[in-house]
Structures are given as C-alpha cells and as structure tokens.
Amino acid sequence: MKSKLRATLLCTLMIASSLAGCLGGDDDDGDDAVLGCTYMDATNYNADADEDDGTCTYAPGEEPVLGCTNAAATNYDSAATRDDGSCSYAETVMGCMDPAANNHNAAAEDDDGSCDYGMAQAAIMAAYSAGEMEFSAALYELEKSRKCREQGSNNPCEIVEMSIGDASTIDPHDAYDSASGDVIEQVYDTLYRYAGDGSGNAIIEPRLATGYTVSEDGLTYTFDLRDDVYFSNGDLMEASDVVYSWCRVLGYGSPDSHVGWILEQSFDCNDGDGNHDDNGGASFTVNSATSFSVTLFAQSSAFISTIAYTVGAVINAELCEANRVDAGGENDDYCHEWMDEAPFGAGTNAYLVQSWVREDRLVLVPNWMYWEAGDYNINRHTVSIVTEATTRLLAFSDGEVDFGSINIEDLVNFCSNLEDKPNVQSDPGYICSYRETFTTTLSAFNLHPKALDAGEDNTNTGANSSLILNHDCNGDGTNDCSVMEVGAVRAAISYAFDYETHRRDTYDNSLAPQYGPIPTGFLYADTQYETFTYDLVGAEQLLEDAGFIRQYDCTSLTRSEAPVIVAEADRDGTECRLPNVLGVMANEGNDYRIAMAGQLAEALGTIGVATAGDAKPWAEYLTMYYTRTWDIRFSGWAPDYLDPDNYWSPFSGGDSIGGDAYGTGYENADVNAALLIGRTSQDDDTRRQAYEDAFAAWILDPNMIIIGQYNGVGVKHDDICSPPYAAIGSAHWFDYDKLPMVNGALVGSC
C-alpha cells in the first residue's frame, strides 16, 4: 500500500513538471484489448479480435435473430439464433410434496420440510376421552388427520355408483332389503360382522364386541365391548345402548319389513308385566358400561351369526328416546321417523348420510369419530338410482362411475373367456372376477293376497286394502279364502316355470340349480333333491284334479271382483280356471326378473290361469310387498347369517315360529315342527333329519319357486382396490381404496 502511494505522488509531480507517460509501477494491466467483429458468420469477422466492438456486418438475409436461447428460461425464444443475454428464470416452487400431509402443495418442485400431518387419531381420541378437547376441536383435528388427499385425474377420494334400487329406510331395525342394507352397513355397526378370509370364504369377526362367554347351560351370553367407540355426535357408546337397540327391535316390531324375527326367535325384553317398558326386562343384565348379558329361550347354533345382521345394529339410545313419538299403544314410533334417514349422532360406523333424495341419489361422507384405526381412502360415496341398463353401461364405460350394476349380457364389453366363467379374463383397464355366492333367486306366493278397495288406484299405499276371498276352503258354500291358499294351485304354478331356460339363457348360465331353500355350500344342502320341473301338462292336471275347471269368462276377470261364469253349454275350452286374475310382480331395472315374470305369466295363460302385472319402481314394489297386494312376486335372498335356518325359516317357516320374511302367510305345521328342531338342536344328525323332514313336507305344499343360486362375474375399473370377498353382507367402503391416476398411469398397487 505504501509503495503504491509513493508511485501516485511521483506521477502527480511529473505531470506538474510537464513530464508524460507515467503509469505507476503496480497499476500495470498488461497489453491493450484487440477490438473488432468476433462472430464468424459476419462478413467482417476479425480472427485477431478478442473483444467484439459491435461492428459486425452480414450478408443480406443472414442476419442473426437475437433473443433468449435457453429452453429452461421463462422467456425462451425458439426462433432466436443468438443469445442476447436477456434470459430470465422462475424461482423454484418450494413446499410440502407429500400427498398424505395436511398442507400438500401439488405445485411444489422441491420439498422444504414443512409437511404437517396434524395430531394422530389415537392422540386426538385420547384427548377427547380425557375431556381435554372439545367435540368440535376433535372433529376438526380428526378430519385433518384422517381425510383422503385429492391427487391425480380420477377422483381417487370418491366412489360413484349406479344402482337399480333405492333404500326403503335407513332405520336398521325395520329394513330387510339389500338396498337399505348397503347403506346401513356404512352408518351403523354391530357386535360382530362377516368378512372375507382371502380365500373366498366368509368369517365372522368382532366389531363393537371384544369377546363373549356362554353359560354352562348354553343359554346366557355375556358380551364384553370396546371402550373407545363414540357415536358420530361424540356420545360414548355403552352396553346400555346395545340392550336398548335390541329391545327396540322387539318393541317396535318392524311393522313394514318384519325383519325383527331374526332377534325375536332368540330372546324377549319383557319384564314381569310384559309391557316392554323395562329396558331389557328379565332377559338382559347390564353388568357395566362395557359388559351385558342376555339369556336365550333355547340353545342356538346360530345366535352370534344372527346378531351380525343389520337388525342387530347399535343405535344411540339417548337420542332415540329424545326423538321418540309415543302417542300410546300402537302409536309409538320408537323414533322411527327420526331414524328413517340415519340422522347425525345415531350410529358409530364409518360414514354419515350427507343427503338422500329418494329414488334419485344418496351421498355418504366420513364420520370422523369412527373408532377403527386408519385414514379414509374414500371421502365421498355417491349412489345414483338408474333403472335403464344402457345408461348404466355407458356411464361405466366412459369412466363416469366406478360401479354400474352391469347386466350379464353387457359383460362382453369388459371381460373375455365368459364361456368359462370361473376362468374369466379381464380386458385392459378392468378387473373381472368370478364369484360363487349364497344368493338365491326365487318367486314367492302370497297365500292371503289383498286388493286395493274400490276407488283407490295402484299408487295407493294399500293401507285400506282388503283380503281377496274368491274360494270356498271349508266347503260351507261361502267364499272364505283365496285360491292361493290351495296347495294344488301353488304346485301348478311351480310346474309352469321354465327353470332350465332361465338358468341357461336368461341368466347366461350364471344360476346354478337349487332345489330347496338351502344353497350349495351350506350344511345339509344335500337333504334336498330336484322335484319341480317345467311341466305344463302336469300343472294343468293338478288344477283339474283340484276342481279348477275352465268355467270363467276371462274378459270379466279382475283382481277381486266376482267373475262371470260361462254356461256349461257355451264353454269352448278357452275359459279361465281361476275366478280372478293373479298379480305377478317384478321390479324395474331388474331385466331378469321381468323376463321370468313374463314367461310364467304366458305359461299360466296357456293352462287357463289369467295374470296381470308390470314392473314396478322399487319403492312401489316394496310398498306392495309390505301391504301384500300381490299374488306372485319375483325376488332374491342374500343370507343374513350363515346357517341353514336363515333360509328355511324366512322362506317357509310360519309367522308363528318367527319365520315368513316374505309375508306369504304360509303356515305348515309339519314344516314348522321340523324347523324348530333344526333351529335349536346342537346335534348334527338331529338337525340333518329335521331338514329332510321339512323338505319332504314342503314339496307337497310349496309356497315359493326356488329358481337358482347365483354364481357369476362382476366387473370394476382397475383403479379400485377391494377387501377380500365375502359371500355375505354389503360392501364396507372404509375398507376400499382407489388408486390415483397421475400422468396417465396408476400410482401404487392394491
């Protein structure tokens, strides 16, 4: 520094003395730069120049295009041939890149370590249980912690379904149709539930219960319950809620569906005066908040299975009582009006009913208080009611829906090798699966049909309907019954059905033969054998032998009015045999039932039995079923619990023994006696003999047509991950997943 200062001073003195050329020793920068045109494509390019001076000239048409030539820049110019130094660049977007985090930033290019996962479910519930967190705060934190995070292009947090039938009610204690059960199993929970074991078999697993013990006499069951289950409004579930729920089934009596028989066969809730007022009566004991006991009428091989059905669902006792309308006697609704649409706080299962427009659409959303550990894969489940098969097919094909109730004949659009259903193949984008089920297709006979009174139309609820009395059953000359009470009439109808054609053609070989109530795969299915076949000659002879000759003017027949009898001399053999038209019923959207009803009606017509009826909307179909304004009804049956009695009693057991789920009015003393033995015996040989005896009595006096056992193919999109298959119960959406589609490819695997 000092030498540089001396040089500067010396230079100053020399300039003052008119001396020139002083540079200062330490400030020497070397040789001067050579200026000139440094671009080789210029006409005046100077190879010696080391610094461009802007003098370049170019031949006409060969001038460079100046601009930003870096493709990574925000102002990249693809037409530029020479970079002019103007490029600019965006800053890297920082943020949380984990889709599972509460603050996931889909636009983030680099993770900044800010991911927030909120409190864990267990910690939130522990704080809520200890009173350290308010319900609203717990709900907020649970949603943050458990919700599915949207990503991809296929709405992976939502499942959309099209169905052919709407729920009748979401009150689990008066619902007995599958459409209602499909919703109820998401909203309410039971002590035990069926699930798949991964090998195609169904197992029963604990839900609200942790276990049970049985007394030495086999009659008293003591259940232990979870202590961490809350209703969706934050109320703690206790043993008293279970007792209240089961006794509500018996007290209310399931007036529409008659589903109460499943519990009524096992216990009662009456105290000494039998008025149902005491919660549990002599049969129940609440031992603690997490334990209760129930004493059965008799030993039962199937009791634990029966309470796994939705009728055993646990509801919020306090809220039910608060919303109960009790006007005395039969005018006690046991809070049914409140329960009908599954209100907030009523259940403990994974979902809530957000909205329900009957016969149109139902939407489920999460119950964030749900007790089972884990995050939600599905935040929203939408069910639309669509009876038109073509509409469902197009929506499924276009990816608008995840499940679409695809008809058997439309499976060729998604599956191959369908001629060998057990070895079906999936087309790209779909998963086709063969399933052997315990679902029975049948047609029930109503022994005590009703007709709407004069002045009412077919859309009436049937509350004012009256019995059809068109036959003299006791021989006193006065009509005192319906022809449907005559066993020969019902047997003739059974022989008029074309079993093989419907199994083979209508259902495209998806119905296996089933000859009695018990399906293949159940205990004692081998106690049945083929009896009824398609035999119109035999059917007509049965009617003839029973005295039903051709004598009525067919054009005069109605459901309930007196027929016109054709004079014997004027009969030409085309007259009708029965004094009234039989009402044959199927439901809209189920093309297979409609086809079967049409065939049966046509066949009966050829032997002189007049019929009428058309496909009914599901709601009207159920109303006619409940009010018994039908004669022959095509339907199906999926098991409530895995025991032979779950078929025999509801199919053909009389109401007097807690059976007759189909409302046929059938009471056969021999069948009833055998079924009571089969239901209560613990001995294998005794049970087998009981079902042999029941079948032998039933084929002489049938009350329904057993058509077949469904074994078929289902299809779904390949982004849907399902839990292990179980041939009983509804889908449990909390156990489903939907893989996200990102940049045209699925992320993850099932």
pLDDT (tens digit per residue) in 350-385? 999 999 999 999 999 999 999 999 999 999 999 999
For residue 464, what pLDDT band results from cuts at 50, 70 and 90? Answer: low
Cβ-contact 529, 441 below 8 angstroms: no
Mean local confidence (pLDDT), 471-493: 95
What confidence score (pLDDT) does residue 10 get? 37
For residue 615, what are the β-bridge partners?
586
pLDDT at 11 over 70: no
Q: Give the pairing of strands 351-357 and 220-225.
A: unpaired
What confidence score (pLDDT) does residue 105 get? 85
CA dihedral for 734, 736, 740, 741, sign (positive or negative): negative
- How far, in Å, CA of 175 to CA of 340, rounded? 10
DSSP per-residue codes, 415-463: EE-GGGGGG-EEPTTEEEEEEEEEEEEEEEE-SS-EEPPTT--TTS--T
SS3 content of the chain, % helix, strand, coil (to 5): 30, 20, 50
pLDDT at 7 over 70: no
Please give the class, per CATH, of domain 436-710: alpha beta
* CA distances for 242 relative to 263, 284, 320, 570, angstroms: 13, 10, 13, 68
pTM of the model: 0.76
pLDDT at 459 over 50: no
Is residue 230 classed as helix, strand or coil in its secondary structure?
Answer: strand
Query: For 741, left (φ over 0), alpha (ψ -120 to 50), or beta?
Result: beta
Report which of 291, 141, 282 is spatially closest to residue 211, judged by C-alpha positions. Answer: 291
Mean local confidence (pLDDT), 47-76: 89
pLDDT at 304 over 50: yes
pLDDT at 222 over 80: yes
> Rounded mean pLDDT of the chain?
90
DSSP 8-state assignment for residue 157: T
Question: Domain 159-405+719-746 adopts which CATH fold?
Answer: D-Maltodextrin-Binding Protein; domain 2 (3.40.190)
Q: Among 91-100, 154-163, 268-277, name the one with the lowest average pLDDT.
A: 268-277
Q: Which residue type occupies 140? A: Y
* Residue, of 550 and 39, whose pLDDT is higher: 550
Q: Give the pairing of strands 158-163 and 611-612.
A: unpaired
What's the 3-state SS for 463-476?
A: CCCEECCCECCCCC
Q: Which helix or strand (DSSP H or E) is residue 258 part of?
A: none
Is residue 229 classed as helix, strand or coil in its secondary structure?
Answer: coil
Q: Among 178-192, 325-339, 674-688, name the one with the lowest average pLDDT.
A: 325-339
Cβ-contact 579, 471 below 8 angstroms: yes
Q: What is the residue whose two structure tokens read 């779909």? A: 430
pLDDT at 481 over 60: yes
What confidence score (pLDDT) does residue 690 get? 97
Mean local confidence (pLDDT), 282-289: 92
What confidence score (pLDDT) does residue 104 get? 82
Residue 501 Cα to chain centre, angstroms: 30
Extents of the domains making up the chain: 36-77, 159-405+719-746, 436-710
Cβ-based neighbours of 2, under 8 Å, separated by 6 or more: none
What confidence score (pLDDT) does residue 37 get? 92
First vs last C-alpha separation in the chain: 75
Q: Among 82-91, 400-409, 450-459, 488-497, name the one with the lowest average pLDDT.
A: 450-459
Q: Which helix or strand (DSSP H or E) is residue 596 part of?
A: helix 591-606
Q: Among 11-20, 651-660, 673-682, name the one with the lowest average pLDDT.
A: 11-20
What confidence score (pLDDT) does residue 602 get? 97
* Residue, of 301 and 668, whose pLDDT is higher: 668
Q: Which residue type occupies 235? A: D
Q: Read off the pLDDT of residues 602-647 as tens digits, 9 standing for 90 and up.
A: 999 999 999 998 899 988 898 888 889 999 999 999 999 889 999 9
* CA distances for 518 relative to 231, 508, 666, 685, angstroms: 37, 22, 18, 17
Mean local confidence (pLDDT), 131-146: 95
What confidence score (pLDDT) does residue 103 get? 83
- How far, in Å, CA of 119 to CA of 125, rounded? 10
What confidence score (pLDDT) does residue 27 get? 46
